[in-house]
Amino acid sequence: MLQDKTLAFLKKLKKNNTTEWFKENQTDYKKSRTDFEIFVSEIIDGLAKMDDNIEKQDLEAKKCIKRINRDIRFSNNKSPYKTNYFADFNPNGYKSEHASYYFHLEPNNSFVGGGVYMPQTPTLNKFRKEIEQDFKKWESLINQKSFKEIFPNGIESPSELMTVPKGFDKESPAVEYLRMKGFYTMRKLTDNEITSGNAISEIIESFGEVKPVIEFLNRAL
């Protein structure tokens, strides 16, 4: 079970996002990071029982967790650290472009889901083509009652094109999705839900609902 102290550390980091403060609070950071790694390991164990591809990858928690340092080279926001922990569980390996499962931990903004977020254009177009060619199957997956209950916003995208991209049918019934620059789902989780004894089962339940969508998208690669 995730500790309240881990969320407390992230809250403090948000208020004191400086290199100096971070160095002074290395002990608390390491404790929170270890707690999150343990939690992620439990997620991997549950996910591996549900998805054979995850089991085959034999994922390690520390390799699934994204680094806390921010890349500030091209950003107006010069805060050196992220104020969240993020873990990605890819059924095709750590560096794969395939659709994946993920978990985001942040005070008052935690979520779980799956899919792809702004992939490179060649890869994105492969996903678009898969949706266009088998749109009835795509619709059947995202219109499942249980899927909508877990992910009320359905399939989301970081941004959308104004028109259908070159090489795709402007009259396609899938036009709404062809304009998307990513395909992902998001289920919000409260701080109380995240630190409860049911957190892992809630996360795995969410992964179970998005699994068919991930498998559909990954057929394209």
122 Cβ contact list (under 8 Å, min separation 6): none
pLDDT in tens, 44-63: 999 999 999 999 999 999 99
Average pLDDT, the chain: 97
Q: What is the pLDDT, as a whole number, of residue 189?
A: 98
Domain ranges of the chain: 4-218
Mean pLDDT, residues 181-198 taken together? 97
The whole-angstrom separation of Cα 217 and Cα 98 is 8
**Percent of the chain whose predicted confidence (pLDDT) is above 90:** 95
Q: 72: pLDDT confidence band, cut at 50, 70 and 90? A: confident
- The tens digit of pLDDT for each residue in 81-93 reads 999 999 999 999 9
What is the rounded distance in angstroms from the CA atom of residue 182 to the CA atom of residue 123? Answer: 10
Mean pLDDT of 175-190: 98
Q: Is 73 a residue whose pLDDT tops 90?
A: no
Residue 76 clears pLDDT 90, i.e. is over it: no
pTM attached to this predicted model: 0.95
When pLDDT is averaged across residues 19-44 and rounded to a whole number, the result is: 98
pLDDT digits 0-9 by tens, 100-151: 999 999 999 999 999 999 999 999 999 999 999 999 999 999 999 999 999 9
The pLDDT score that the predictor gives to residue 75 is: 84
How many other C-beta atoms are found inside a 10 Å radius of the C-beta of residue 179?
17
CATH of domain 4-218: 3.30.930
Residue 162 reports pLDDT greater than 90: yes
